[in-house]
Every structure is written in structure tokens, then in C-alpha cells.
Amino acid sequence: QVQLVESGGGLVQAGGSLRLSCAASGRTFSSAYMGWFRQAPGKEREFVAAIRGSGGRTYYAYYADSVKGRFTISRDNAKNTVYLQMSSLKPEDTAVYYCAAGGRQYYSRQEDYDYWGQGTQVTVSS
């Protein structure tokens, strides 16, 4: 049984930083996309970032325009964990952040991922 468990959410002031973690168990995702999506109140869930390995030590990372330059996605295959380092946070980053794994081709499409975490709340105060 595959499980994704997110952690690291919380309350932070605008301009601050948070680091989210997503630990996967049940299978490895070394060559598949792992990603982060978020859903703000009253809005649809949206793509934030995704990362995929190439089989070696090279990783490919992709970001939504709204977070590019502020967020960094990384992964530790030995720990089967993906991270999202969020810096220069803004109130509009407030949302529930979801980890997703098993993405095959379209990294920004929710339907391309097979597994989802339960979500972790990030609240940025102004």
C-alpha cells in the first residue's frame, strides 16, 4: 500500500520561509514525477512544482510561474522523500499543500498522478 505523508506546514509571516516534506512508502518513485499542488479556499487545486529523476544524478524540476524563484523542489531517493523549500512567502501562498507521486508525462496535470497525500496547511499572514 502506497502512502504519502506530508509535514512541515504551519503559520508564517509574509517574507518568511517553510520547508515541506513528503515521505513516500510502499514503492519508490525514482524515475516518476513527484510534485506539489495547492488548494486555496474557494479555489481549485493548482500545480506548484514537480521533479523527476533521469536515472542518474540529474533531476529535472518544474515550477508554476507564481512560485518560480521563491520555491525549490528537491528529492532524496534514498529516503523516498520530496521536499518543497518555500521562501519569500506571500499571503496568496496560503493554501493546503498536497504531495503527489507517480506522475508519468504531464507533470502539471493532477490526473497524471497516481498517489496523493492528505495535505498540509500553510498559512501566510500579512
* Residues 22-44: tens digit of each pLDDT: 999 998 887 889 999 999 999 99
Nearest to 116 by CA among 35, 42, 27: 35
CA distances from 40 to 31, 68, 74, 94 (A): 29, 18, 23, 6
**The three grid cell numbers given for residue 49, joined into one nine-digit string:** 512544482
Q: Is residue 55 pLDDT above 80, yes or no?
A: no
pLDDT, residue 45, reads 97
pLDDT, residue 22, reads 97
pLDDT, residue 64, reads 98
The predicted model gives 57-80 an average pLDDT of: 93
pLDDT, residue 78, reads 87
* Residues 94-122: tens digit of each pLDDT: 999 999 998 888 999 999 999 999 999 99
